[in-house]
Every structure is written in structure tokens, then in C-alpha cells.
Amino acid sequence: MFELSQDHEDFRRLVREFAEAEIAPHIADWDRKHYFPTELVPKMGELGLFGLVAPEEYGGAGLAEGAFTYQCLAIEELGRVDQSIGITLSAGVGLGINPILTYGSAEQKQQWLPDLVAGRALAGFGLTEPEAGSDAAATRTRARLDGDEWVINGAKAFITNSGTDITSVVTVTAKTGENVDGSPQLSAIMVPAGTPGFTVEPGYEKLGWHVSDTHGLSFDDCRVPAANLLGEQGSGFRQFLKTLDDGRIAISALAVGLAQACLEATTDYAGSRIAFGKPIGANQGVAFPLADLAVMVEASRLLTYKAAWLKDELTAGRRSVREVKQAAAICKVYSTEAAVTATRIATQVFGGNGFMEEFPVARFYRDAKILEIGEGTSEVQRMVIARGLGLPQA
């Protein structure tokens, strides 16, 4: 049976103290200004947050057991204070570092990982396109070999950590031919920041995640060395499916952090806000939704850390990919939908104050919705779960 060790709990406390000291005093101002705090990333690196799943040879922690669970704990605790900072870490590791760590050559790992693990740089992962999200087979970005270079043309959308001052590289998926059955052959290619023909579009005006860096990307005869292919040609589809499985658990941890923040803020408010001569928490109309919220937090956390434990067990060779895929989809769909509900409950309990930006629940409410969309929508998760049950597929 899985459980969090004392070392895990000590680490949780360490990250919580960091978040409350380094993020909480500034986040309202950063959110209002849509400011990405580049200066925070190296501090996260110094704490070791970008290196939890990386070997010591690249500056990582070299953890023998439970590395992914540590990663989820860090994401949850950052997300409890602010979702944008949580997703910066989640994407920085899951979408930036992990594909290079898992599929990169020795030369690619040595070139990129030390700075990424130390928090001196960030990396992005370009999968989604204006016309291709859940339907990744509809990818229109193309790459062709011209001598010893890949020539890339196309566009990507909604790419996290892709346009910061310290972004060093973005891995993009592109069509590089056709498979024998006529389906598109997708490959992953690393494009260094500043490469001619690689343009980072202006940042999006988003509903939430105002502190997160998110851009569209365009490629116009962008040339990179043939050696920048990540893994084997044609393996891009398999690579990003595995990347998304891990990312779904990480997003679930982010959702747990948000729901926990809602529970804490709303419980405190309900205990101190006086109406009709008594705290509003004395009314069942307030107390019962908070009880429901406590149940959702507990269930979300258990589902998430079971999935994280299974992922660590898979790494150790003791579980199957199928088990992790199913657990990832289950925790992702439940936890993210619970987080959206949690922000609605919190905003309602705060009443008019919940609609005011001076109270954090307003930011929580704005930040929540994307959790049901990113790393695979709730609808896609239900498809994965149904497939895992052995149901016939359309």
C-alpha cells in the first residue's frame, strides 16, 4: 500500500515554507501586472525543485525511490499559494526536462540539462497547434531534412515557458513523413531559443494563470542541426503520449493545491465573518458545502498520490504502463473538476468579497478552469478511462 514517508512530509514542509516566504507576499502584485518572476526560478533551482527526477550527474537529486512523488508534492505546495508558479515548475520539469532526460542522447542531455535542472534556464514543449490539440494526428507543423539540417515550418499554440528571458530551448512535434499505414509520422525536434526563423509570438491575454509564461510559436524555414532530433525519427507520437501521462498526475497535484487553498481560506473566512450576530460557518448552508469541499480535497489527494506512487513503482519496474495511464486519467479528471467546484464554493462563501480581486479566491476562481483543459481535457480523460475498462471504442 502506498503512503507518504516522513521524508516526503519534511520535504512538503520545506516547499511550503519557501512558497509562503518567496511567493505569497508578491503574488497579488505579480498577478495584477501579469509579471513572470524570472528571478524566482533560480531560487526554485537552488531548492532542488527542478532536479527531483534527474540524476546527480546533471545536478539532480538522484533519488532512488519516490522521485515523482516528491515532484508532485512540490507542485501541490507551490499551487496552494499560486497556480502560475505551480505550472511553471510542472511544465518546466514534465514538459521541458523529462523529454530530454528520457529520450535525449548523451550529448543532448549534457548540453541542456545542467542549466535546466539548476533553474538557470527553462524549456518548453510545443505540441498543441491552432488546429491540433487533443487530435494530435492533425499536426500541421512539418520538418524536412535538407542535408544535415531539419527545416521546420508551422505554428504552435499555448506553449508554457516558451518565451521567458531564460528559455533556452523548445522541443516541438512535427510531421517528418508518413508511416507505412499512411498515418502521419511525428517526430520531436529541439529548437534552441533565438534560432533564425523561430518566432515567439506576444504573450496571450489569459483568463487566469497571469503569472505563467504562455505564447504561440511560429516557424518559418527554421533550420536546426539534424542532431537536434529527440529520440528516433517517427517516435514523437509515443513520446508525447508518455509525457502527457506523467503530466496529468502533475496537473492533478496542482489541482489538489488549489482545492486545499480554497478549503483553508474559506474555513478561516467562515469562522470570522459575522452575519446576524454569529459566524457564517455556524449556518449549515455554509458548513455543509465546506464539509463537501473537505471530502473533495481528501479524495483528490489520495487519488493523486496513489497515481504518483504507481508512477514511481513503474520506474522501479514493479507496475505496468496500463495501470499508470488509468490512474493518471482518473486522478486528473476527478481532481481538476473538484478544484473548479472548490473555487465556486469558496467564491460563494466569500459573497461579494469573493468577487473582489483583493481576496485570493477571485484569483483561484480565474485560475481553476484551465485545469480541466490542459494536459488532456476532461472528455479525453473519460475516453482513456473507458478504454481502460475494455469498452468498445468508436
CA neighbor of 40 nearest in space, from 28, 32, 30: 30
| Residue 138 vs residues 176, 182, 185, 277, 335: alpha-carbon distances, Å | 13, 13, 11, 60, 29
Cell numbers for 15: 516547499
106: left (phi over 0), alpha (psi -120 to 50) or beta: alpha
Tally of CB atoms within 10 A around 251? 33
Phi, psi of 52 (to 5 degrees): -65, -30
Q: How far apart are CA 168 and CA 191, in angstroms?
A: 9
Catalytic residues: 375
Residue with cell 487519488: 303
Residue with cell 515557458: 161
Q: In sequence order, what are the residues at sequence separation of 6 or more whose Cβ sits closer than 8 angstroms to the Cβ of residue 88?
A: 41, 122, 160, 161, 211, 212, 213
Cell numbers for 45: 533551482
Q: How far apart are CA 105 and CA 101, in angstroms?
A: 9
Cell numbers for 164: 521567458
Q: In sequence order, what are the residues at sequence separation of 6 or more whose Cβ sits closer than 8 angstroms to the Cβ of residue 80?
A: 16, 19, 257, 258, 260, 261
| 191, β-bridge pairs | 170
Cell numbers for 221: 524555414
Cell numbers for 327: 490512474
Q: How far apart are CA 164 and CA 373, in angstroms?
A: 23
